[in-house]
Amino acid sequence: MATQQVRAKECSSIGAEGLTLIAHPNREAMLMGLPISRALPIRDRRMVGPWCFLDRFGPVAFSAGRPMDVPPHPHIGLQTVSWLLEGEVLHSDSLGYQATARPGGVNVMTAGRGIAHAEETPRQNSGRLNGVQLWVALPDADRRTDPSFVHLEQVPVVAEAGGKVQVFVGAYDGVSSPAPHFSSILGLDVEIRRKGSLPLALDPACEHALLVLGGDCRLQDDRPLEQGFLYYLGTQRPALEVHSEAGGRLLLIGGPPVPEPILMWWNFVARMPEEIAEARANWEDGDGFGEVRGDHAPRLHAPDLIRFARPNPAS
């Protein structure tokens, strides 16, 4: 079989750095009418551990229409994580699950060998939308696992003197999110009180990064952290202390560096171009992903293989 020509983007955290603090500006974009700020992947930072995609959207207020309306599209080789600060996102998938993500809860979809889903602002909504969409590359041994979907109404919360920590993925300070994970990834939403300080214990073997979600935040003895940047922290960091003057909120992601390069193309995470070509052909042929039930706009078509395909913005 001839080698398929696929303009897939090779992503790697092999270049994980030791203890550091690097500010990577997010890339602003408008996608399907929804303004997003892309923190991962960007030119100079493709992954943080196995986290390979991070979009920030909102806060937006609306009185008509539905700001998020992503028709059915496929995924392989990854997990999607939907975490909201305000508003609602309705998930529908080809396994038959339907679940509305709301603040405090999380939707985690494991694509494994293949799943299709749609994500939209439900017709009954609060008129607000504010959140993040993340992808996690599955380890090589697990990336062909059966697809699955988990909705949690309420993720574990750790109350601290200086604020609170919501554990939307992974384990932190003795509590563990029941959402499935395939490596020691961590996803935290950290709220710091006015004039508060919050110490965070980290695994020094993991890479970590921060994204300000609101308010003012700074690291101990360092300059303020700004919105619109992904702050890459490297590895070898056993702890972090965050402070706020008027109150602040940030996202912390972490995980072990991925030992091999991965390929990202459109909504697919793989290792070989042939796998991407096969997944694309299956999707276009209506084969292998199943149907997403519900009243949706027509499913998305995959771009041409030889065209560079940006990851689906709304994941």
Minimum distance, C-beta of residue 118 to Mn ion, in the bound complex (Å): 8
Give me the residue whose beta carbon is nearest to Mn ion. 315
Q: Interface with Mn ion includes 79 (CB under 5 A)? A: no
- Tell the smallest beta-carbon distance from residue 313 to Mn ion (Å): 9
Q: Which is nearer to Mn ion, 94 or 315 (CB)?
A: 315
Size of interface with Mn ion, in residues (CB under 5 A):
1
State which residue, 94 or 166, has the beta carbon closest to Mn ion: 94
- In the complex, the smallest distance separating the C-beta of residue 193 from Mn ion, rounded to whole angstroms, is 35
Contact between 244 and Mn ion (CB under 5 A)? Answer: no
Binding to Mn ion by residue 166, rule CB under 5 A? no
**121 touches Mn ion (CB under 5 A):** no
DSSP string, the chain: -PPP---PEEE--TT--SS--EEEEPEEEEETTEEEEEEESBTTB--BTTEEEEEEEEEEE-SSS-S-EEEEEEEBSEEEEEEEEEE-EEEEETTS-EEEE-TT-EEEEE-TT-EEEEEE--SS--SEEEEEEEEEEPPGGGTTSPPEEEEESS--EEEETTEEEEEEESEETTEE-SS--SSS-EEEEEEE-TT-EEEEE--TTSEEEEEEEEE-EEETTSPEEPTTEEEEEES---EEEEE-SS-EEEEEEEEPPPSS-EEEETTEEESSHHHHHHHHHHHHTT-SS----SS-PPPPPPPPTTS--PPPTT-
Measured from the CB atom, is 55 or 216 closer to Mn ion? 55
Of 156 and 290, the one with the shorter C-beta distance to Mn ion is 290
CB of 275 to Mn ion, least distance (A): 18
* Binding letters toward Mn ion, positions 276-315, x by CB under 5 A: ---------------------------------------x
Taking the complex as a whole, how short is the minimal distance between the CB of residue 117 and Mn ion, in angstroms? 6
Which C-beta is closer to Mn ion: that of 166 or that of 315? 315
Least CB distance to Mn ion at residue 263 (A): 17
Binding residues vs Mn ion (CB under 5 A): 315
